[in-house]
Amino acid sequence: MPSSVRAGSLKDPEVAELFCREDPEKFFTDLREIGHGSFGAVYFAHDIRTNEVVAIKKMSYSGKQSNEKWQDIIKEVKFLQKLRHPNTVEYRGCYLREHTAWVCVCVCAQCLTYILFHKKPLQEVEIAAITHGALQGLVYLHSHNMIHRDVKAGNILLTEPGQVKLGDFGSASIVAPANSFVGTPYWMAPEVILAMDEGQYDGKVDVWSLGITCIELAERKPPLFNMNAMSALYHIAQNESPVLQSDYFRNFVDSCLQKIAQDRPTSDVLLKHHFLCRERPMTVVMDLIARTKDAVRELDNLQYRKMKKILFHEAHNGPAPEGGDEEEDVEQYMLRTGTVNSMESSHSLPSMSISASSQSSSVNSLADGSDDSGEMAMMQEGEHTVTSNSSVLHKPLVSLKPEVDSQREASSAGGGGGGGGGGRRRRGRDHFATIRTASLVTRQIQEHEQGSALREQMSGYKRMRRQHQKQLMALENKLKGEMDEHQLRLDKELENQRNSFSMEAEKLSKKHQAILEKETKAVLTEEKKFQQHILGQQKKELTTLLESQKRQYRQRKEQLKEELNENQSTPKREKQEWLVHQKECLQQLQAEEEANLLRRQRQYYELQCRQYKRKMLLGRHNLEQDLLREDLNKKQTLKDLECAMLLRHHESTQELEFRQLGLVQRTRAELIRTQHQTELTNQMEYNKRREQELRQKHAMEVRQQPKSLKSKELQIKRQFQDTCKIQTRQYKALRNHLLENTPKSDHKAVLKRLKDEQTRKLAILAEQYDHSINDMLSTQALRLDETQEAEYKVLRMQLQQELELLNAYQSKIKIHTDTQHEREVKDLEQRVSIRRALLEQRIEEEMLSLQNERSERIRTLLERQASEIEAFDSESLRLGFSNMALTGIPSESLAMLPPPPPAPPTISGPSSSSSSSSSSQGGIYGGSGLGVRGAPSLMALKHSPQPLRRTASGGGPGGAGGSDGVLSRSTSVTSHISNGSHLSYS
């Protein structure tokens, strides 16, 4: 539930279902205060619905820090609702009334603290029985990931049948592990004291507290109990664990008090310890309770008899009071039933708990019942019980009037039902068991009132630790959010860059595809133009040849005719036949010459087309190489930019991490300095307060020295006699009034209750009388000044030792903090170094993968181009073209071609001329096909830093578009790839 919600608000359904909506005053009657602490007060009450005796802890959530108090109440109620175990108290509900929460639990047990009423320590068998029951409750809590965090004798309860129960869950934690500064100083585990400095703790802190409780039961007080509570904290955190007596017991306690939490056994493991598994009587706890009750009853009876003596001493001054026989009868009845009235209250000081509800732990008194269950003296039914009343006398003169109404209400409530039922209800209300004497209760009340300064100091120290923890957690959460935001921003930047690079790569791929398509179309167009150009030239050459042949034919024909005309002797017929023969020979020669020209033209055309196609194929290969080089260079450039960004992100994150770590460490150091200053201030205030109290005590001792001990004693005695007379008259009046208004069948019970009340008040007066006499006698020391000086020196020495202990503790904490900071810096440096190494390894792997991809794509392209060249050359060989011819011959070499076969001498002139003309014509387009087209398509290759070359099958250096721009599978390519270098792209 958010802290901003108003305290006491039930708008949240989850919170509303934790509380009962009814008015608690309608269900609970006869409220009697049985305990009081900084959290509030604990009351004994009677539940009219179930006719049960319950204990109610009232906790106010108004005033300062109301929201925190409300949250602590909610946490405690949630914790109590989860408890379902024989060794824990039974929760009955929580009610709200006038900004006060009434937490109700079943009353069936005695606080173990008051077992220590015995002057002798408990026996080991009794300690084993109590520890075994408490440990079973801890096992239940720890198995459900809960931590008690305030285990001590004051929070362990004993039932009449001998059952052990755990109480006071105001300091408990619902989750484990935890890191709050919670508990009672003398019982607190070292890891709890250092929780904010060293991290979290788990249920093993309860094991430590249980070990301290064992020492408390064995020695009647915990270790370091004579020391200031704050000093005890410093001592526990830096010194060795205390030790104990017998082997099994000492081994058990040593196991509980392992300084290192990891070496400390868990609660379920301790259940199997031989100290707890030894045979013992089943009635150990019941015998202990009975023995304690007998001792308490004997002490209260002793105080009662003292006051009776004072009353009887005044009896000779006047007649015996009316109804004396009835009083004696009542007294004999009370003595026979073994019932003695005793006041019930408790002294408590706040525990050092982060939660407000855990302010219920004692820090300064052995007999502290500071918890909700430990403060409750539980109700026992049956005979031999000790009843309690909540009225407390704070002054020697006390009036009984204010209690008349409550007695009347109790009487009317008891008589409202039938005879049997009413008796049982009265029995249930009045037989509220406690094992605390009236003197103990009175002393606790006085110490509780005097310990407000210490409680306030502890409360302030607790708030400071809580604020420091919240401040540090808030800072860590803020820095974590900042780091998450930073990481998100870097991831987004990297993702945007990758998307941009992907779009660039896709755009480049489309561009290359368009270039290839455009180049393919251009090649086809150029090839058609080239073929048409050759065909045009050949047609022109053929036309020239035909015209030349016609001229030669006419000239030869005229020449033949002239020769025939000169030769008149030859017959005309012969002349005619010879002329026809010569014409046929000439026509045959011309036909052969024409056929040879056509054959040469066809061969030249096919050669030139084949050569052109090969050069265009090589040009396309060069273009593919250029495009591949550009693509690979682009990928390499993008990968370099991405790696540079990753390294920049790493540096940025590293800088932020070190800055945040420095901020956290500076904040932690500042908080520790503040804490140490507060601890030192508290210690100095404590020292001043102790010295001031000692000076006040000494001054009071000086002022209280009477001139005459006898007159002072008589004065005190007379004052108490007057008080006793007043109380006796009030008792008679109240008795007569109640007997008149009560049925005769209930007279015995009324007389018993009134006698209990009178006995209780007389016991208080006896305690006060003894206290007055002792104070008067203590002022009569013969060497008062010397004694006071010695006390002052002892106190100064003790305070100096505590101050030195505090300084040593703070020095140890500072050294530990510095060591922790150095370790954190080294850990961060190691993490950053590992992350940098992993990043570099990742970059190297990506670069290697890119180089492998580069090599693979180059190899694939080379293999494909080589296979295309090889297939083209194989096809050319099949068509009858040599590789040398296909590689291209320079244009000037065409003149060296062999001339056509010479014509017969008769016609050699024209034929030679024609052949010469043909040869010269052929030289015009011998290399004109690629001179225009090949050069532009290979320009990109000339600008590359390391052009890739390849020698085609049968290829070599040649004309335009030759092997200068062709890929070569040479060692230079292999070394270029293996060295990881890349071609820069501009």
Query: What's the pLDDT score for residue 230?
Result: 72
Kindly state the helix (H) or strand (E) to which residue 326 belongs, with its residue range.
Answer: helix 324-337
Query: What's the pLDDT score for residue 709?
Result: 63
Task: For residue 959, give the 3-state DSSP assignment.
Answer: coil
Query: What's the pLDDT score for residue 828?
Result: 94
Query: What's the pLDDT score for residue 986?
Result: 29
Query: What's the pLDDT score for residue 821?
Result: 92
Query: What's the pLDDT score for residue 374?
Result: 38
Residue count of the chain: 986
177 upstream amide cis, omega within 30 of 0: yes
Query: What's the pLDDT score for residue 930?
Result: 34
The pairs formed by 668-672 with CB atoms below 8 angstroms and a separation of 24 or more are 668/472, 668/817, 668/821, 669/817, 669/821, 671/468, 671/471, 671/472, 672/197, 672/813, 672/814, 672/817
Q: How many whole angstroms separate alpha carbon 343 and alpha carbon 377?
A: 10
Query: What's the pLDDT score for residue 89?
Result: 86
Residue stretches of the annotated binding site: 58
632, 854 in Cβ contact below 8 A?
yes
DSSP calls for 478-510: HHHHHHHHHHHHHHHHHHHHHHHHHHHHHHHHH
Tell me the backbone φ, ψ of residue 58, rounded to 5 degrees: -95, 125
Q: Residue 314: CB partners within 8 Å, gap ≥ 6? A: 721, 724, 725
Q: Report helix angle 572-703 to 908-922, nearest 10.
A: 10
Query: What's the pLDDT score for residue 333?
Result: 31
**Per-residue CA distances from 75 to 172, 236, 558, 606 (Å):** 9, 28, 138, 100
CA angle at residue 58 from 56 to 64, to 5 degrees?
A: 165
Query: What's the pLDDT score for residue 385?
Result: 33
Residue 846 half-sphere exposure, CB side, CA atoms within 13 Å?
Answer: 17
Query: What's the pLDDT score for residue 202?
Result: 83
Residue stretches of the annotated binding site for ATP: 58
Active site residue 150: yes
Q: Residue 291: CB partners within 8 Å, gap ≥ 6? A: 118
Handedness of CA 431, 437, 438, 440 (dihedral sign): negative
- Please identify which of the residues 150, 202, 746, 873 carries the catalytic annotation: 150
Query: What's the pLDDT score for residue 777?
Result: 67
Nearest one of 168, 149, 164 to 209, comparing CA atoms: 149
pLDDT mean by block of 10 residues, the chain; 986 residues: 62 81 85 71 84 85 80 87 87 87 75 57 81 90 88 83 82 75 83 71 88 84 77 69 64 80 80 73 72 70 70 55 41 35 34 35 36 36 34 32 37 40 45 53 58 74 84 91 93 91 90 90 88 88 87 82 76 80 85 88 85 88 91 91 92 94 93 90 87 86 63 79 85 85 83 84 83 70 70 90 87 89 93 94 92 92 91 85 66 42 38 37 36 36 37 38 38 40 36
Please report the domains of the chain, with CATH numbers, ordered by start residue.
9-107 (3.30.200.20), 109-313 (1.10.510.10)
**Strands ordered across the beta sheet of 40-47:** 28-37, 40-47, 52-60, 100-106, 91-96
- Kindly give the residue spans of alpha helices, DSSP state H, lying in 927-970: 928-937, 939-942
Phi-psi sector, 183: left (phi>0), alpha (psi -120 to 50), beta: left
Tell me the backbone φ, ψ of residue 957, rounded to 5 degrees: -65, 140
